[in-house]
């Protein structure tokens, strides 16, 4: 019976603000000045400082506890948020190792959880943003969600988020978005040109006083986020479907864009995702173990505070976001004494700093350090040296090997040749178990003949997997029965190469050896080369002759009547005599001959009949008879 908690698939979805909070928020108990315990929810990072050189003194009854913080409280490396630096130790002077009853709980003085320092590799934090910021992937990508769902031109969206425009145009656009909140779902589906024709007059009538445009502070990110939350996905999907159906034969209607919009709406609806989640209200901060500081940087010179510029690139990007966020908070506090242009400029800088953190490569103005682009979160994930390919996928294991491939037509379709040196290391645990002797590092000094006999006995009932990168489809990994070869390359049958898309100009393949009996049974029946003779995509045969094989068959079966007959004549009794003459080079492949073909009539009488053919065709026919 299957376990209820067993997962059969992995689902990737847009994280909601509540889910981001669950990643980081934790409850701790702190002791107040009146010696009472107070519950606090922590998880937010509020300061851009990393190293703290302050010493705080908290006095308890009978004892004075000195708390020395190495990292700033509520900073990017705070021990209260992410866990202790030393196992089961907090930053108080007295140690908690002997008090087992308080382990795995938070220290009442400094709030650090008394646990292993391994928690710093998976505990996350969040940066609460004053203004919702658009995620870069949903703007600078193959499709712009705001452009498709709200029918706003991309240039107008760029002006709203990056403020590269005159101030009057900005207020017109904001007024346009304000009016749009009050429209019904049918009017929402109109294009941007109709909005400008219908609504700009009303906006100008309300906002123009004495021929001067009145400035009202409205943040466009909040307005667009409110628009996306108010979208009724079910009504929009039905309206979009009817719009596509009624305009199938309309040449002036952009049906491709509408179909793309319909698919995006369906994806949001069936994945139970709110379109407003493309705006980030909180920035998740990855654990400090994945963005470490250099040890030499932790030592401050002459007691000076820590220099933030010498931190790692990712930490500097997080610090930049926190600084911009705090400056917006201070400006909004003094809104009456501050011009709105400064507030909009700080929001633009915050949007750019979030873009630099998520994906620096897609931006026009790439942020650089020493003329080198900063490595963003997307750069850490993607590519050959990203997190997925370097640490999650394709890791090296003990029962694997790799070598160049070469062809061997004498192999069976289900066989592959493994070099003897690779087989020695691949099957080393099996050799030790069979011989019941512990070899040292110099076990290769033993007789090669003994090892060869042991290996031939071991691999007799074994099955291995051959994989060629990139594994684009299921036939990129196939199972074979190994045989030992004296060469230093992996030998495969030439007909197998079409499924691998491999040739013999230096291509490499990796060998994987399954360990338990269940995996052996599985790969024999599912991954065997003789079990997968057709392509799964279109059922075409994967074993197709090509290139030198076709040329060889044509050359072998060719006939040349101009070749002169030999003194012994052109008549042969059986196949063996023809093959004997070919071996002694007394007969050519293309020379016409007569060969005896015995026929039985009524299973009694044998009649000799000679058939006209060539020596090459007889040679080809002998292979089929075998």
- Identify the pLDDT of residue 509: 93
Please state the length of the chain: 626
Whether residue 21 contacts residue 282, with contact meaning beta carbons closer than 8 Å, is answered with: yes
| Cβ partners under 8 Å of residue 354, min gap 6 | 133, 136, 280, 283, 321
- Identify the pLDDT of residue 73: 80
- Identify the pLDDT of residue 406: 93
- Identify the pLDDT of residue 209: 36
Per-residue model confidence as pLDDT tens digits over 325-368: 999 888 887 766 667 778 888 888 899 899 989 988 777 666 66
- Identify the pLDDT of residue 448: 80
Asked if pLDDT for residue 189 goes beyond 60, the answer is no
Per-residue model confidence as pLDDT tens digits over 64-82: 455 566 778 888 888 888 9
- Identify the pLDDT of residue 321: 92
* Domain architecture of the chain: domains with CATH: 17-123 (no CATH), 130-282 (no CATH), 286-389 (no CATH), 396-543 (2.40.40.20), 549-625 (1.10.274.100)
Nearest Cα neighbor of 91 from 115, 66, 74 is 66
Q: In which residue are the tokens 């059922």 written? A: 539
Q: Rounded to an integer, what distance in angstroms lies between the CA atom of residue 427 and that of residue 361?
A: 46
Among 55-59, 205-209, 413-417, the range of highest mean pLDDT:
413-417
Asked if pLDDT for residue 103 goes beyond 80, the answer is no
Across residues 128-140, what is the average pLDDT? Answer: 88
pLDDT classification of 479: cutoffs 50, 70, 90: very high
Q: Rounded to an integer, what distance in angstroms lies between the CA atom of residue 262 and that of residue 163?
A: 30
Helix, coil or strand: residue 443? helix
- Identify the pLDDT of residue 7: 59
Which pair of structure tokens corresponds to residue 359?
């994906």
- Identify the pLDDT of residue 198: 39
Which pair of structure tokens corresponds to residue 581?
């003459």
Q: Considering the entire predicted model, what is its pTM?
A: 0.63
Q: pLDDT over 90 for what percent of the chain?
A: 13
pLDDT classification of 442: cutoffs 50, 70, 90: low
Which pair of structure tokens corresponds to residue 460?
């007799």
According to DSSP, the residues that pair with 610 across neighbouring strands are: 596
């Amino acid at each position: 019976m299957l376990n209820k908690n067993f997962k059969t698939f992995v689902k990737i979805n847009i994280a909601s603000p509540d889910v981001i909070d669950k990643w980081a928020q934790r409850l701790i108990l702190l002791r107040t000045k009146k010696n009472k315990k107070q519950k606090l929810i922590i998880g937010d990072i509020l300061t851009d400082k990393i190293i703290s050189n302050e010493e705080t003194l908290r006095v308890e009854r009978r004892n004075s506890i000195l708390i020395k913080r190495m990292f700033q409280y509520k900073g990017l490396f705070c021990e209260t948020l992410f866990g202790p630096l030393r196992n089961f130790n907090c930053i108080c002077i007295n140690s908690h190792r002997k008090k087992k009853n308080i382990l795995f709980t938070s220290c009442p003085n400094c709030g650090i959880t008394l646990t292993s320092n391994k928690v710093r590799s998976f505990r996350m934090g969040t940066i609460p943003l004053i203004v919702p910021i658009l995620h870069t992937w949903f703007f600078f990508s193959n499709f712009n969600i705001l452009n498709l769902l709200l029918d706003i031109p991309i240039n107008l969206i760029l002006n709203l988020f990056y403020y590269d425009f005159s101030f009057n145009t900005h207020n017109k656009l904001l007024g346009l978005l304000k009016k749009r909140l009050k429209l019904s779902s049918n009017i929402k589906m109109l294009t941007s040109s109709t909005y400008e024709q219908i609504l700009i007059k009303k906006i100008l009538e309300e906002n123009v006083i004495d021929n001067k445009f009145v400035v009202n502070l409205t943040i466009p990110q909040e307005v667009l986020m409110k628009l996306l939350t108010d979208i009724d996905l079910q009504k929009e999907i039905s309206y979009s479907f009817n719009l596509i159906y009624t305009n199938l034969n309309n040449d002036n209607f952009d049906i491709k864009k509408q179909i793309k919009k319909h698919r995006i709406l369906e994806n949001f609806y069936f994945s139970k995702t709110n379109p407003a989640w493309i705006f980030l209200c909180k920035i998740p901060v990855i654990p400090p173990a994945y963005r470490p500081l250099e040890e030499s940087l932790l030592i401050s010179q002459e007691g000076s505070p820590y220099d933030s510029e010498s931190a790692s690139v990712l930490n500097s990007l997080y610090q930049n976001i926190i600084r911009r966020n705090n400056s917006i908070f201070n400006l909004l506090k003094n809104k009456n004494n501050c011009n709105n242009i400064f507030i909009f400029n700080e929001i633009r800088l915050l949007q750019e700093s979030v873009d630099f953190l998520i994906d620096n490569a897609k931006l026009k103005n790439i942020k650089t350090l020493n003329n080198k682009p900063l490595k963003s979160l997307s750069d850490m994930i993607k590519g050959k040296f990203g997190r997925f390919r370097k640490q999650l996928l394709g890791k090296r294991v003990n029962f694997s090997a790799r070598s160049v491939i070469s062809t061997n037509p004498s192999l069976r379709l289900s066989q592959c040749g493994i070099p003897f040196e690779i087989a020695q290391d691949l099957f080393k645990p099996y050799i030790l178990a069979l011989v019941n002797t512990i070899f040292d590092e110099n076990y290769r000094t033993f007789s090669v003949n003994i090892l060869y006999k042991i290996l031939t006995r071991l691999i007799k009932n074994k099955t291995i997997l051959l994989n060629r990168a990139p594994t684009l489809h299921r036939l990129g990994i196939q199972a074979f029965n190994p045989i030992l070869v004296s060469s230093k390359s992996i030998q495969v049958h030439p007909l197998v190469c079409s499924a691998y898309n491999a040739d013999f100009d230096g291509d490499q393949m990796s060998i994987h050896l399954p360990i338990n009996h269940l995996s052996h049974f599985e790969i024999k029946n599912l991954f065997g080369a003789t079990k997968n003779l057709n392509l799964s995509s279109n059922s075409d045969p994967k074993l197709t002759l090509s290139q030198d094989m076709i040329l060889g068959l044509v050359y072998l079966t060719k006939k040349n009547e101009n070749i002169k007959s030999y003194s012994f004549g052109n008549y042969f009794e059986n196949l063996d005599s023809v093959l004997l003459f070919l071996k002694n080079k007394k007969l050519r492949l293309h020379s016409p001959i007569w060969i005896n073909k015995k026929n039985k009539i009524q299973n009694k009488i044998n009649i000799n009949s000679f058939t006209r053919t060539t020596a090459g065709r007889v040679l080809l026919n002998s292979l089929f008879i075998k």
